[in-house]
C-alpha cells in the first residue's frame, strides 16, 4: 500500500493519512475501537462477526465538527469482502494489526511506528551517501 501525504497539510487523524476515503477512515476507526473494547484483540470469529455487522449496517453515534460538538447518529454499511480487502488486509500489511496464526487472533500492533522510524532512518542514510556519479546523456536522434 502506498501512503501519499502533504507535509504542510497533515491531518490530525492517522486514519485520514492512511486511507483514501472518508468511509474507509470511519470503518478503520470503528475496527480499532472494537479491538480496544476487547483488550486490543479479536479472535477470527469475532472479526468475522464484526465484518458481518458492518455488512448488515450499524448505527454509530459520535461527535460532528471540531468547534461545536454535536452528537449525531449515522447508519454505516460496508461490504464484508471490501472490509477484508480494503481495511483489514492493508492494516495488517502496514503493521497496524498483527495476526497470530496459532491462537487465531488479531491484535493491535506498534510495528507501524517501528516501520515508519526504519523508513526515516533509511532516508537519513540516503542523504548521507556520496553521489554515485551517474551520467545523464541526451537520447541520440536517428
Cα Rg of the chain (Å, integer)? 20
Q: What percent of the chain has pLDDT over 90?
A: 72
What is the rounded CA–CA span in Å between residue 57 and residue 79? 9
pLDDT tens for 7-47 read 999 999 999 999 999 999 999 999 999 999 999 999 999 99
Q: Is the pTM of this model over 0.75?
A: yes
At a CB cut-off of 8 Å and minimum separation 6, what does 13 contact? 25, 29
Q: Is residue 64 part of a domain?
A: yes
What is the rounded CA–CA span in Å between residue 80 and residue 70? 30
34-73 in b/e burial notation, b at 16+ Cβ within 10 A?
bbeeeeebbeeeebeebbebbeeeeeeeeeeeeeeeeeee
Beta carbons of 20 and 80 less than 8 angstroms apart? no
CATH number of the structural domain spanning residue 41? 1.10.10
Q: Is residue 137 part of a domain?
A: no
Closest C-alpha among 27, 26, 19 to residue 47: 27
- Look up the domain containing 31 and give its range: 14-109
Amino acid at each position: 500500500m502506498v501512503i501519499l501525504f502533504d507535509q504542510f497539510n497533515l491531518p490530525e487523524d492517522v486514519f485520514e493519512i492512511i486511507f483514501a476515503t472518508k468511509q474507509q477512515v470511519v470503518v478503520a476507526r470503528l475496527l480499532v475501537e472494537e479491538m480496544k473494547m476487547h483488550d486490543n484483540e479479536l479472535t477470527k470469529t469475532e472479526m468475522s462477526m464484526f465484518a458481518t455487522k458492518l455488512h448488515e449496517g450499524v448505527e454509530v453515534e459520535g461527535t460532528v465538527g471540531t468547534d461545536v460538538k454535536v452528537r449525531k447518529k449515522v447508519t454505516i454499511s460496508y461490504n464484508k469482502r471490501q472490509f477484508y480487502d480494503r481495511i483489514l488486509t492493508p492494516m495488517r500489511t502496514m503493521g497496524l494489526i498483527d495476526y497470530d496464526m496459532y491462537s487465531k487472533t488479531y491484535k493491535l500492533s506498534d510495528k507501524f511506528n517501528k516501520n515508519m522510524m526504519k523508513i526515516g532512518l533509511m532516508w537519513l542514510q540516503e542523504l548521507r551517501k556520496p553521489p554515485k556519479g551517474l551520467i545523464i546523456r541526451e537520447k541520440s536522434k536517428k
